[in-house]
Amino acid sequence: MIPIKSFSERRRYLASQMQKGVAIIPTAPEQVRNQDGHYPYRFDSYFYYLTGFGEPEAVAVIVAGGDEGSSKHILFCRDKDLEREIWEGFRYGPEAARETFDFDETYPTSKLDEILPKLMKDQPTVYCALGHDREWDARVIGWVNQTRQQARSGLAAPAGIYDIRLLLDEMRLFKSSEELHVMRRAAAISSGAHRRAMQKTRPGMNEYEVEAELLHEFRRYGAQAPAYNSIVAGGANACVLHYVENNARLNDGDLLLIDAGCELDGYAADITRTFPVNGTFSAVQRDVYQLVLAAQAAAISAVQPGYPWDAPHEAALRVLAQGFIDFGLCHGSIDTVLQSEDYKRFYMHRTGHWLGLDVHDVGEYKRNGAWRLLQPGMTLTVEPGCYVRPADNVPEHFWNIGVRIEDDVLVMETGCEVLTAAAPKMVTEIEELMQHRKDR
């Protein structure tokens, strides 16, 4: 767990980046699933990043730019309610939350409408994620208007609204050693889950049975949930990029593509592995697999500080384009295939994304029109693939082969660390592991 003092340090750092003003950061609302049932609760990542507080109906407020750069940190949260706690479990309540989460002041959430207009008085700027949630926007603007109505008494209302995400995204992009500790653990649990899937898969099983093995491993080691909907895609289903039905039979001779990672204490892992259902790659499956693996190796070699964000993608594309030409899937030179984007018939997504509290994490990819340069502390995925759908101009033995190999990497002072290296991906490693699996 990340120590509480780190959350208050983040708030102080955020305040130091703000001009004088009030930042308002609400957590996510609970979502009704049906009738009186809710989806499992997941806090808002920005809110959690600044507070470490996991309860719903909470709002963090930071008043910045006071004397000598000091800032005041306020938390609004649910009241203690012993009756409700019998049904729904523990809630901190303002008093205990102030102590435990290191806030200067705490109030019940029911007091937001009373206190926020007061906090906005004589503040030039409101910092919030305007545009994220219409209802919330309307509330914030309501408080600004309320403050404005008191202008006759000589008080000024905020004149500017600044998107706080511009500051927070940049902070979240660089992971601290404490965050990396959690991410390494999430990566290790998820790698173990992929290993387990390889060991458990047999022809004739259903995709959902393999999904169950992944979930078993996530929960068994304390991960709270999958970080995103797991993709367990046998055979042709691997060519559906966001396949989530996970309910088809796994056939002897097919490949199985699994894209699954856990969320641990808010942080995501994101791993894809592709392996043969029967434990042995066919010749053509192996060729495609080795091509994607080579593309991934080239991309990982391009994860270096000072390299542009796009370098891993460009490196993967060159390897894939040459492979598609060698396989007779594309024609011409690498440069013509890249220029015409003919490769997109078989590789239509990009090679990675930032990773962190959100699986597709926040952070700019471009600055002033140019790809951003990689810097130590950034975490991203490297996930090339090849997906061959049946088509007249495609040799039939490639049909329905879908391969993706995805790892999570951390940019280091030199090169990078592969956080998910424990998930097997060499052909020999996978075949060996699967051939020595014990019958259930």
Note the residues at the interface with ligand GLY (CB under 6 A).
Answer: 228, 259, 270, 353, 359, 383, 406
DSSP string, 157-197: PP-EEEETHHHHHHHHHS--HHHHHHHHHHHHHHHHHHHHH
Which among 242, 396, 413, 436 is annotated as catalytic? Answer: 242
Question: What b/e string do you get for 153-191 counting C-beta neighbours within 10 Å, with b at 16 or more?
Answer: eebebbeebbebbebbbebbbebeeebbebbbbbbbbbb
Which among 360, 367, 397, 437 is annotated as catalytic? Answer: 360
403, 289 Cβ separation under 8 angstroms? yes
Q: In the bound complex, what is the minimum distance in angstroms from residue 182's beta carbon to Mn ion?
A: 18
Which among 44, 361, 383, 431 is annotated as catalytic? Answer: 383
Establish whether 259 is a catalytic residue: yes
Whichever of 51 and 381 has its CB closer to Mn ion, that residue is 381
223, 263 Cβ separation under 8 angstroms? yes
Helices (runs of H) and strands (runs of E) counted in the chain = 13, 21
Q: In the bound complex, what is the minimum distance in angstroms from residue 316's beta carbon to ligand GLY?
A: 14
Under the binding rule (CB under 5 A), the answer on residue 381 touching Mn ion is yes
**Contact region with Mn ion (CB under 5 A), list: 79-87, 204-212, 401-409, 428-436:** 401-409
* Residue 218 identity (one-letter amino acid): F
Establish whether 397 is a catalytic residue: no
Establish whether 242 is a catalytic residue: yes
Which among 48, 165, 353, 361 is annotated as catalytic? Answer: 353
Which among 102, 406, 407, 408 is annotated as catalytic? Answer: 406
Read off the tokens for 5.
């003092």
Which among 207, 254, 263, 270 is annotated as catalytic? Answer: 270
Beta strands in 295-429 (DSSP E): 366-367, 370-371, 379-382, 385-387, 402-404, 407-411, 416-418
Q: In the bound complex, what is the minimum distance in angstroms from residue 383's beta carbon to Mn ion?
A: 5
Under the binding rule (CB under 5 A), the answer on residue 407 touching Mn ion is no
Under the binding rule (CB under 5 A), the answer on residue 361 touching Mn ion is no
Whichever of 102 and 407 has its CB closer to Mn ion, that residue is 407
Whichever of 101 and 228 has its CB closer to ligand GLY, that residue is 228
Pick the closest to residue 358 from 173, 181, 137, 232 (CA basis): 173
Which among ligand GLY, Mn ion, none contacts residue 228 (Cβ within 5 to 8 A by kind)?
A: ligand GLY
Establish whether 353 is a catalytic residue: yes
**Alpha carbon distance 350, 240 (integer Å):** 15
Which among ligand GLY, Mn ion, none contacts residue 263 (Cβ within 5 to 8 A by kind)?
A: none
Q: In the bound complex, what is the minimum distance in angstroms from residue 405's beta carbon to Mn ion?
A: 10
56, 27 Cβ separation under 8 angstroms? yes
Backbone angles phi, psi at 367, to 5 degrees: -135, 130
- CA dihedral over 259, 365, 344, 424, signed as positive or negative: negative
Whichever of 228 and 343 has its CB closer to ligand GLY, that residue is 228
Whichever of 164 and 231 has its CB closer to Mn ion, that residue is 231
Under the binding rule (CB under 5 A), the answer on residue 408 touching Mn ion is no
Whichever of 65 and 352 has its CB closer to Mn ion, that residue is 352
- Active-site residue numbers? 36, 242, 259, 270, 349, 353, 360, 383, 387, 404, 406
